[in-house]
Amino acid sequence: MKSVTIGPDELRLIGLLKAGRGNAVSRHSLAILMGTSDRQVRKMIERVGAAGIIICNEQRGGGYYIAEDLDEIERQYRQKLNRMKSMYKRTLPLRRALKEAGRPVK
């Protein structure tokens, strides 16, 4: 597996995040604080996560935060797992159509 390097921007992002769900910061606010775009903040959050640092977020737009306890990590895990299952179900008709058309599908 390729290792991901955390740069100064990602370290600054981590420093802006607080512990606990009640201290969540919106991605929009993070973009303003960092002087960058929402898209760049999203990419930084992905890099930080790929490096193994757990940043939680609330699905309903509550923002991003560092987990305070295992309950918050478990909630994040279940949220992401449910999102993956939902996405997988939505890809099944696409897969079926490609296979029926003779296209190779993994």
**Is residue 61 over pLDDT 70?**
yes
Q: What's the structural domain count of the chain? A: 1
The domain spanning residue 20 has which CATH number? 1.10.10.10
Tell me whether residue 50 is exposed, middle or buried, using C-beta atoms within 10 angstroms of its C-beta: 0 to 12, 13 to 18, 19 or more. middle
Report the percentage of the chain scoring pLDDT > 90.
Answer: 82
Q: What is the 8-class DSSP label of residue 76?
A: H
Counting other chains too, the contacts that 29-34 makes at CB distance below 8 Å and 24 or more residues apart are 29/63, 30/64, 34/9
Mean predicted confidence (pLDDT) in 73-78 = 94
- Count the residues in the chain: 106
Q: Is residue 12 part of a domain?
A: yes
Residue 64: strand, helix, or coil:
strand
Closest CA to 105 of 88, 90, 94: 94
Quote the domain boundaries for residue 26: 8-100
- pLDDT category, 106, cuts 50, 70, 90? confident
Q: Is residue 106 part of a domain?
A: no
**Is residue 14 over pLDDT 60?**
yes
Mean predicted confidence (pLDDT) in 56-68 = 88
Q: What is the pTM assigned to this prediction?
A: 0.78
**Is residue 70 over pLDDT 90?**
yes
Mean predicted confidence (pLDDT) in 84-96 = 95
Q: Is residue 3 part of a domain?
A: no
User: Which residues neighbour 17 within 8 Å (Cβ) at sequence distance 6 or greater?
Assistant: 25, 55, 64, 65, 66
Q: Is residue 83 part of a domain?
A: yes
